């Protein structure tokens, strides 16, 4: 039953507040539980009774209560808008290292469900599985904070000064095999006009994408050489029937909206492909590599030689995909509406007023910084200081990074909050298998005695959780005591595996 206040708030269009607990506190069985406010409705709770109102502002109260295992595992709905499409998103960032670095302790699984590891000499962050592009942005941003633990200076970019490149990969769980996706090439080739991060070359030329010039094939399976615009790397990380599309053509984004557009529009294109609603675009895929590089080399008037029509405009191609997505998915859900609005608005501004995209599109923001600085100090194109601006834009340090200096001054459009990002450094997404991974890791970390006294530890793989306990049976062949290893499958990325997490925690608690 809704109380009177809830009905009034609902009538006025407000969402009622909901109480959630921080992950550590949820696992702290007898200590006071601090509560925080979010705005997603959960009919199973009566949040208003738990709030006191002071001067019109709701203030969370501290209560002392015993939390059962059931309570720990009650589904926690996301506080984000709805997204009504079955999809899994994951991002991987290879960070450039600009200071001291330590790979000690890596690989490291984190309670937010992510993995940090060393790859090709880089600190790499692989986000937890998320169910929508907005969560994907938040957990990618959380990775910037978590990764700083391993180096005094990290750059979230994709290219160094001597021509090496390193990736910002995207992963999409989809229901159509990647080798049948050639029809989306025109979209991928042109996506950089809003998703590119920009690059100032030593000769002073500016490219809108950092990665475009490293693409060598339209389709391919390699990731360190002969890179393909559509990557066919086969590593599903699931036993389910779907496919993992692993894209390596994209840039590392600093702007939240650009990242949201990159991930969100690509997912919409996959929706169209799965629903057989892609616009018919007559495109010669043999031109894709040249087209992606040509587009990257221009700040406007983008064209695709591979288009077999009179209108070869990159903006026109994007608009065709946009119109198809609007026709199919407008009003499907809140996030999709946000995407469609931002996509259309961005394309309009790319055509009519690029300056208005400063703070939303990385390459435009970076180019404006470089151009203004060069003008102010009368520096030639390609001056080392201007190249510093290019690099320092990607500094993930909130105090020294140029992007974050702009953001701290309110000059960057945001679709998340610092609080959401901070929360995402410790708390896993609640609606994917990352939930079980994060909960179990948090539980084991919180109950140190399990690992110290009973040698209960975890070993993680993306689709399996292993619980290791100190061996008591002597090995017949070698005579030593081996750890007992119990594997638990979490192969379905859409399943939060709540019961499995409950079972593992219950069994672990028996040892305390």
Partner 1 sequence: MTEQHEQYKPNVPGQKDVSKDYHKLGNLDKAGKLLEGIDALVSNKKLAENYTQQGGQ
Contact flag: residue 140 with partner 1 (CB under 8 A): no
* Interface stretch with partner 1, choices 115-123, 317-325, 442-450, 485-493 (CB under 8 A): 115-123
Q: Of the candidates 409, 448, 476, 477, which one interacts with partner 1 according to CB under 8 A? A: 409
3-state SS assignment for residue 449: helix
Contact flag: residue 162 with partner 1 (CB under 8 A): yes
Q: What pairs with residue 118 in β-bridges? A: 123
Contact flag: residue 107 with partner 1 (CB under 8 A): no
Phi, psi of 33 (to 5 degrees): -105, 115
**Please, which residue, 27 or 134, has the CB nearer to partner 1?**
134
Q: Of the candidates 109, 166, 302, 443, which one interacts with partner 1 according to CB under 8 A? A: 166
**Touching partner 1, residues 223-282 (CB under 8 A):** 223-224, 248
**Touching partner 1, residues 361-400 (CB under 8 A):** 368-369, 372-373, 376, 384-385, 387-392, 400
Residue 428 CB, shortest distance to partner 1, in Å, is 19
Comparing CA positions, the residue from 342, 339, 316, 329 lying closest to residue 275 is 329
**Please, which residue, 101 or 468, has the CB nearer to partner 1?**
101
**Touching partner 1, residues 182-201 (CB under 8 A):** none
Comparing CA positions, the residue from 189, 371, 368, 195 lying closest to residue 294 is 189
CB neighbours (10 Å) of residue 225? 8
8 A C-beta contact, residue 377 and residue 98: no
Distance CA 312, CA 306 (A): 8
Q: What pairs with residue 122 in β-bridges? A: 119
8 A C-beta contact, residue 434 and residue 443: no
Comparing CA positions, the residue from 221, 271, 269, 273 lying closest to residue 247 is 221
Contact flag: residue 402 with partner 1 (CB under 8 A): yes
Contact flag: residue 209 with partner 1 (CB under 8 A): no
Instruction: Give the 3-state secondary structure of 43-68.
Output: CCCCHHHHEEEECCEEEECCECCCCC
Tokens representing residue 422 in the block: 């901070």
* Interface stretch with partner 1, choices 163-171, 185-193, 276-284, 292-300 (CB under 8 A): 163-171
Using CB under 8 A, count the residues that bind partner 1: 71
Contact flag: residue 461 with partner 1 (CB under 8 A): no
Contact flag: residue 286 with partner 1 (CB under 8 A): no
Distance CA 260, CA 237 (A): 24
- Per-residue contact track with partner 1, 290 to 319, x per CB under 8 A? ------------------------------
**Touching partner 1, residues 332-361 (CB under 8 A):** 334, 337-338, 341-342, 345, 349, 353, 355-360
Contact flag: residue 405 with partner 1 (CB under 8 A): yes
The alpha carbon of residue 292 and the mean position of all alpha carbons in its chain are separated, in whole angstroms, by 24
Distance CA 108, CA 118 (A): 10
Contact flag: residue 56 with partner 1 (CB under 8 A): no
Contact flag: residue 84 with partner 1 (CB under 8 A): no
Residue 426 CB, shortest distance to partner 1, in Å, is 19
* Interface stretch with partner 1, choices 56-64, 77-85, 170-178, 422-430 (CB under 8 A): 77-85
Tokens representing residue 352 in the block: 């009519």
Residue 292 CB, shortest distance to partner 1, in Å, is 18
The CA radius of gyration of the chain, in Å to the nearest whole number, is: 24
Instruction: Give the 3-state secondary structure of 477-503.
Output: CCCCECCEEEEEECCCCCCCCHHHHHH
Residues contacting 136, CB < 8 A, separation 6+: 89, 90, 91, 127, 130, 259, 263
Comparing CA positions, the residue from 248, 310, 203 lying closest to residue 93 is 248
Q: Of the candidates 21, 251, 413, 431, which one interacts with partner 1 according to CB under 8 A? A: 413
For residue 305, indicate whether it is catalytic. no
Comparing CA positions, the residue from 287, 261, 269 lying closest to residue 192 is 261
Options 42, 71, 119, 431, the catalytic residue: 119
**Please, which residue, 187 or 343, has the CB nearer to partner 1?**
343
Contact flag: residue 77 with partner 1 (CB under 8 A): no
Residue 427 CB, shortest distance to partner 1, in Å, is 16
Q: Of the candidates 9, 24, 29, 97, which one interacts with partner 1 according to CB under 8 A? A: 97
CA distances from 428 to 101, 360, 433 (A): 26, 27, 9
**Please, which residue, 219 or 468, has the CB nearer to partner 1?**
219
Residue 346 CB, shortest distance to partner 1, in Å, is 10
**Touching partner 1, residues 141-160 (CB under 8 A):** 155, 160
Contact flag: residue 98 with partner 1 (CB under 8 A): yes
**Please, which residue, 195 or 402, has the CB nearer to partner 1?**
402
Distance CA 329, CA 323 (A): 10
Catalytic site residues? Answer: 119
């Amino acid at each position: 039953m809704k109380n009177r206040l809830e009905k009034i708030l609902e009538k006025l269009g407000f969402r009622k507040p909901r109480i959630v607990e921080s992950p550590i506190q949820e696992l702290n069985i007898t200590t006071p539980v601090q509560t925080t406010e979010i705005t997603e409705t959960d009919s199973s709770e009566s949040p208003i009774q738990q709030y006191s109102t002071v001067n019109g502002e709701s203030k969370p109260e501290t209560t002392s209560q015993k939390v059962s295992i059931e309570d720990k595992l009650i589904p926690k709905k996301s506080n984000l808008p709805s997204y009504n499409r079955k999809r899994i998103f994951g991002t991987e960032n290879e960070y450039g290292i600009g200071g001291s670095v330590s790979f000690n302790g890596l690989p490291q699984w984190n309670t937010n469900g992510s993995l940090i590891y060393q790859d090709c000499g880089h600190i790499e962050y692989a986000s937890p599985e998320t169910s929508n592009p907005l969560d994907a942005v938040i957990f990618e941003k959380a990775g910037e904070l978590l990764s700083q633990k391993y180096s005094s200076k990290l750059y979230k970019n994709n290219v160094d000064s001597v021509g090496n490149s390193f990736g910002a990969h995207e992963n999409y769980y989809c229901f159509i095999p990647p080798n049948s996706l050639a029809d989306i090439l025109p979209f991928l080739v042109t996506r950089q006009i809003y998703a590119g991060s920009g690059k100032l070359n030593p000769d002073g030329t500016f490219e809108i994408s950092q990665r475009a010039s490293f693409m060598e094939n339209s389709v391919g399976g390699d990731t360190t050489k002969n890179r393909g615009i559509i990557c066919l790397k086969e590593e599903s990380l699931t036993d389910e029937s779907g496919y993992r599309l692993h894209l390596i053509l994209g840039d590392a984004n600093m702007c939240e909206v650009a990242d949201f557009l990159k991930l969100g529009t690509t997912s919409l294109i996959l929706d169209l492909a799965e629903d057989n609603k892609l616009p018919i675009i007559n495109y010669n895929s043999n031109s894709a590599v040249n087209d992606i590089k040509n587009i990257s080399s221009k700040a406007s008037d983008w064209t695709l030689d591979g288009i077999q029509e009179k209108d070869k405009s990159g903006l026109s191609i994007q608009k065709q995909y946009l119109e198809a997505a609007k026709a199919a998915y407008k009003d499907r859900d809140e996030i999709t509406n946000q995407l469609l609005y931002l996509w259309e608005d961005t394309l309009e501004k790319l055509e009519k007023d690029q300056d208005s995209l400063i703070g939303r599109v990385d390459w435009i923001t970076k180019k404006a910084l470089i151009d203004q600085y060069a003008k102010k100090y009368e520096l030639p194109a390609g001056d080392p200081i201007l190249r510093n601006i290019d690099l320092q834009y990607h500094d993930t340090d909130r105090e020294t990074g140029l992007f974050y200096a702009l953001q701290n001054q309110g000059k960057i459009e945001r679709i998340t909050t610092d609080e959401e990002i901070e929360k995402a450094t410790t708390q896993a997404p609640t609606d994917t298998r990352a939930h079980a991974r994060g909960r179990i890791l948090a539980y084991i970390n919180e109950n140190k005695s399990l690992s110290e006294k009973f040698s209960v530890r975890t070993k993680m793989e993306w689709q399996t959780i292993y619980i290791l306990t100190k061996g008591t049976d002597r090995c017949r062949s070698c005579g030593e005591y081996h750890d007992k290893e119990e594997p638990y499958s979490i192969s379905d990325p859409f399943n939060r595996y709540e019961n499995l997490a409950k079972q593992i925690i219950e069994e672990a608690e028996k040892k305390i």
